[in-house]
Amino acid sequence: MRNKVTIVGAGNVGATTAHWLAAKELADIVLIDIVEGVPQGKALDLLESLPVEGADVSVTGSNDYAETADSDVVVVTAGFPRKPGMSRDDLLKANADIVGAATEQVVKHSPSAVLIVVTNPLDAMCEVARMKSGFPRERLLGMAGVLDSARFAAFIAAELKVSVDNVQAFVLGGHGDQMVPLPRYSTVAGIPITELLDVQAIQRLVKRTAGGGGEIVALLKTGSAYYAPARAITEMVDAILKDKHKILPCAALLRGEYGIKDLFIGVPCKLGAGGLEQVITITLTAEEEKALNKSAAAVRELVDVVHAQAQSR
């Protein structure tokens, strides 16, 4: 019996994630969206590509969460992008409503699933899902660090003109401008990039990584990134479904690790069949710890807004 993965949101990120999952034959897939016809059409199109790929999985589109029952993993990508004139609190409320409603359906139909939140602002939306689901931290994760690390790795490889296979990049913290790329722990064939690049070059790559999503939004003008986010989601799902015990940077609920409690923050996580198996703690310099605490403070501001909005209802 094949595994089952539900993807909530049939936009670019959700549909591209379905594409990656199907091509890798990781699971049967259900694509859910509120717009009638969209998940069905994209699922059918993807299903019809699989004979060419030689991939034997089922891909279904639906507007009914009943189709998602007994999913092993549920990925929430649905949400609004921030639009001109929309405040941060407006975006938080709009996407909190979407993520909250999706989470309630996940709990109803797949109470044992591992839930991966992708909707922005990511770290705050993880808290919404936690409040709505009551899931243990092992079964509730956010996708951010894999994407941020991939961006950092791509920029390092291009700068040094080396294969991306040689590069292992490391990013901590919240998903956004306050993320914390760690050059000391980022390597090329095992060599720290601090031995290969000067300070100015590293700072330039770190800055570009932190603004990586915004750079793509500025270029597209009418959308945001989806190829890299979808591939990053697939990496997490692969580690979970194959019980790989693989260490990946993910947003996890911290319980004192790194001196942070009750916040979803990007940290190295060991992933296996049950979701989060272990938060890996590393030694930080005073400067790195200060940057991580600053990132955590920015996340806490958003989470405080989420809690205030929940209490006002």
Strand duo 59-62 + 140-142: pairing: unpaired
Helices (H), the chain: 12-23, 38-53, 88-109, 122-133, 145-160, 199-210, 212-220, 227-241, 286-311
307 is catalytic: no
CA distances 68 to 61, 73, 153, 192, Å, are 10, 10, 35, 44
Q: Which of 19, 109, 175, 245 is catalytic?
A: 175
Give yes or no for a contact between 81 and 123, defined as CB atoms under 8 angstroms apart. no
Spatial distance between the Cα atoms of 42 and 50, rounded to a whole number of angstroms:
13
Round to whole Å and give the CA distance between 142 and 145. Answer: 8
* 184 Cβ neighbours under 8 A, 6+ residues apart: 192, 194, 285, 288
Strands 191-192 and 114-117: unpaired
Q: Tell me the catalytic residues.
A: 175
